[in-house]
């Protein structure tokens, strides 16, 4: 019997953008689907984790204090997700962080980065990056 998810992230969108945002994320992220939708909220699932996009008060805004981390298999996946999530008004940040067109902060990180983070040269190289470059991290690791 599958265990029911106990924690669910609610993403509070300004105005009536919840369903639009959820459908965008489902179109971009692998293994994603819309579970249900109502005028107030859209529930979607990514890699088995449920999230809820909620139509909320326009006075509230997302901040970098909360982000969603995506561990990518390789540079191709980093590049694809980075391009998709920054398209249409998204903003690149530093060290693999970005804001999408809705203001949600994401960390688009190659899985390989975790293994390399023990090397100070890798950390130093990463600190100079916007989108993470796996080949450059590997070069820093060998230096």
CATH 3.10.180.10 positions along the chain are 7-60, 62-143
Nearest Cα neighbor of 79 from 92, 62, 61 is: 92
Which regions of the chain are under pLDDT 50?
none
User: Given this model, what pLDDT does residue 2 score?
Assistant: 60
User: Given this model, what pLDDT does residue 59 score?
Assistant: 77
Q: How far is CA 11 from CA 53, 96, 110, in A?
A: 5, 21, 24
User: Given this model, what pLDDT does residue 57 score?
Assistant: 81
CATH architecture classification, 62-143: Roll (3.10)
pLDDT in tens, 79-111: 999 999 999 999 999 999 999 999 999 999 999
Rounded Cα–Cα distance for residues 112 and 20 (Å): 32
What is the dotted CATH code of the domain comprising 7-60?
Answer: 3.10.180.10
Rounded Cα–Cα distance for residues 120 and 118 (Å): 6
User: Given this model, what pLDDT does residue 1 score?
Assistant: 59
Query: How do beta strands 32-37 and 105-110 pair?
Result: unpaired
User: Given this model, what pLDDT does residue 40 score?
Assistant: 95
């Amino acid at each position: 019997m599958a265990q029911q998810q106990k924690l669910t992230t609610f993403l509070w969108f300004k105005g009536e953008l919840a369903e639009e945002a959820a459908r965008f994320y489902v179109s971009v992220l692998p293994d994603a689907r819309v579970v249900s939708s109502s005028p107030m909220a859209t529930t979607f699932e990514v890699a088995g984790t449920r999230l809820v996009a909620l139509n909320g008060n326009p006075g509230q805004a997302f901040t970098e204090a909360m982000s969603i981390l995506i561990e990518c298999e390789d540079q191709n996946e980093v590049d694809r997700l980075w391009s998709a999530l920054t398209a249409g008004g998204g903003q690149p940040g530093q060290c693999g962080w970005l804001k999408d067109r809705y203001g949600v902060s994401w960390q688009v990180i190659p899985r390989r980065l975790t293994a390399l983070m023990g090397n100070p040269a890798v950390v130093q190289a990463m600190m100079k990056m916007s989108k993470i470059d796996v080949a450059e991290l590997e070069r820093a690791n060998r230096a």
